[in-house]
Structure 1
Amino acid sequence: MEEIKKAPMTVLLMLVNVIVFLAVEITGGSQDTLHMVDCGAAFAPLIIENKEWYRLFTCMFLHFGMSHLANNMLVLFVLGQRLEPVAGKVRLLLIYILGGVGGNIFSFFLDLEKGDYAVSAGASGAVFAVMGAMIYVLVRNRGRVQDLSARQILIMAAFSLYFGFTSSGVDNAAHVGGMICGFLIAVLVYHPGRIYPRKIRNAEP
């Protein structure tokens, strides 16, 4: 309950991902590539030829199997419950959505350049956007937010990127693009001390 009170938007985003995953599983299976495409996974030829740009958004809430979902939600939970109290619910949502879409757009154009088209889905671009934003917030807060230090988040980011680049079937472009977008969005929207003053209640007489 304490985590929900401290980071309700993070919990809501996790809940949406889980609900979508269950719906996909019930209607055809999250490991069925054709079904994932039908549900809104990203696929460059459909985006270009059919103008299905919505896929750059919907693919963020789809996952290939339980482990894919669990890994993304675990990292989102760890980072979100620390970022949301200092950045706010709306800013966390902006970072997650805009950063995730930005990462998917980066991946989409890279696919077009290489001519190597694959069905893509997952919240990892958005999660990396939260990670990128967290790096900037830590910089602005002199290297520490709650129990998380700049060194810890940089090690987490390095290992996450390394794991992606050394594994097959991972959309590394979305990871890198998401992290860069998240960092830049945080630069624009996070200004500690000026945008988030605490509300002061008048004491009862």
Structure 2
Amino acid sequence: MRGGTDIESRGGEKDRATNYAVVQDRDTTWISWLIPLFVVVNVVMFVVVMYFNNCPKHDDSGGSCVARFLGRFSFQPLRENPLFGPSSSTLQRLGGLEWNKVVHQHQGWRLITCIWLHAGVVHLIANMLSLVIIGIRLEQQCGFARIGIIYLLTGIGGSILSSLFIQGSISVGASGALFGLLGAMLSELITNWSIYTNKVCALLTLLVIVAINLAVGILPHVDNFAHIGGFLTGFLLGFVLLPRPQLGWMERRSRPAGVRVNSKYKAHQYILGLISLVLLVAWFTVGLVMLFRGVNGYDHCHWCHYLSCVPTSRWKCDGN
């Protein structure tokens, strides 16, 4: 997103994501509370950001704040922020991801704080709806601990890749973590292939949803590198954290009370999990070292700018 401002917004995901499959076992269902808590935290953070933004106090154009009746919670002029939100300077001050601050001022904490900030009401609503639809289903199936780890680590993974390429703008948003949940859903489907019904349909549906959302990311001023980094990190984490026992899975549904059924993991689940863990450690290590050394990702991948913005007759890409 940008309209006279330098905020990179991370787009929302499609609400059909969680309809990707039906698991044959339904004995274990957790109550979802962590995802709703994340939603509350994101909303509270947006309110805090708008409180500090205080558009009327800093408005030099004489009454151009949007919804001025909201007082200090009114929005920046639409020419500056068309998503009905704060100024880029406010987002920067309160933890937005900015390469210079991270690398030269050693503010690595911005890799985490930017996940909880949003560029505007439109941005916030799109991401929170996606988080509820995607995250609650996953938390009910897999538990809050694993989903919480995936959400946070994929958000950081998205921030790292974003910082390596988006070095002239401020990036905020939870969609790196949202794409991480989509990536984890895909790897969970693959590693637990035998316990799903309508496998091919589920796989194709999920791939189409991911492709559509990544395609949206090639629009100008959308931080698609955060999406890609979050998705790849989540895809690897899914193999590590979301495998399910294969032998005896169906038998548990019809077993007599008090009778135990042995279950175990398949060899391919161990192999995929181990390979993914090694790749995850390598990715975070190499990514962080490159970031704090001030490496520009475009120096090593000259065509990668097409992953985040494709110029057309209707718009141009600014190189960031």
TM range (shorter): 0.7 to 0.9
Taking the TM superposition and a 5 Å limit, the aligned residue runs for 1:7-156 are 7-28=32-53, 30-111=85-166, 116-142=167-193, 144=196, 149-156=202-209
> What amino acid sits opposite 1:74 in the alignment?
L
Q: CA deviation at 1:118?
A: 0.7
- Structure 1 window deviating more from structure 2 (185-194 vs 47-56): it is 185-194
2:244 maps to 192
8 A Cα contact 1:79 1:134, kept in partner: no
Say which SS state the counterpart of residue 90 (structure 1) adopts.
Answer: helix
The percentage of counterpart residues that share the same residue type is 33
Q: Deviations over 1:67-91 (max 9, x none)?
A: 1011111111111122112221011
Count of residues paired in the alignment: 188
8 A Cα contact 2:111 2:160, kept in partner: yes
8 A Cα contact 1:102 1:181, kept in partner: yes
Structure 2 Cα separation of the partners of residues 105 and 72 of structure 1: 20
8 A Cα contact 1:17 1:61, kept in partner: yes
Gapped regions of structure 1 (runs ≥ 5): none
Of structures 1 and 2, the larger Rg is shown by 2
> What amino acid sits opposite 2:221 in the alignment?
G
Structure 2 Cα separation of the partners of residues 159 and 103 of structure 1: 18
Structure 1 Cα separation of the partners of residues 148 and 155 of structure 2: 10
> What amino acid sits opposite 2:171 in the alignment?
S
1:183 equivalent in alignment to 2:235: yes
> What amino acid sits opposite 2:204 in the alignment?
R
Q: CA deviation at 1:94?
A: 0.5
Structure 2 Cα separation of the partners of residues 153 and 79 of structure 1: 12
Moved over 6 A (4+): none
Q: How does the TM-score come out when normalised to structure 1? A: 0.84
CA RMSD of aligned residues (A): 2.3
Q: 1:169 aligns with which of 221, 243, 246?
A: 221
Structure 2 Cα separation of the partners of residues 152 and 67 of structure 1: 26
Gapped regions of structure 2 (runs ≥ 5): 1-29, 54-74, 76-84, 259-320
Q: How does the TM-score come out when normalised to structure 2? A: 0.55
Structure 2 Cα separation of the partners of residues 138 and 78 of structure 1: 17
1:158 maps to 211
Q: Deviations over 1:9-43 (max 9, x none)?
A: 11111111111111111221642000101110010
2:274 maps to none
Structure 2 Cα separation of the partners of residues 187 and 139 of structure 1: 9
8 A Cα contact 1:41 1:58, kept in partner: yes
Structure 2 Cα separation of the partners of residues 17 and 131 of structure 1: 19
8 A Cα contact 2:138 2:147, kept in partner: yes
Q: CA deviation at 1:6?
A: 3.4
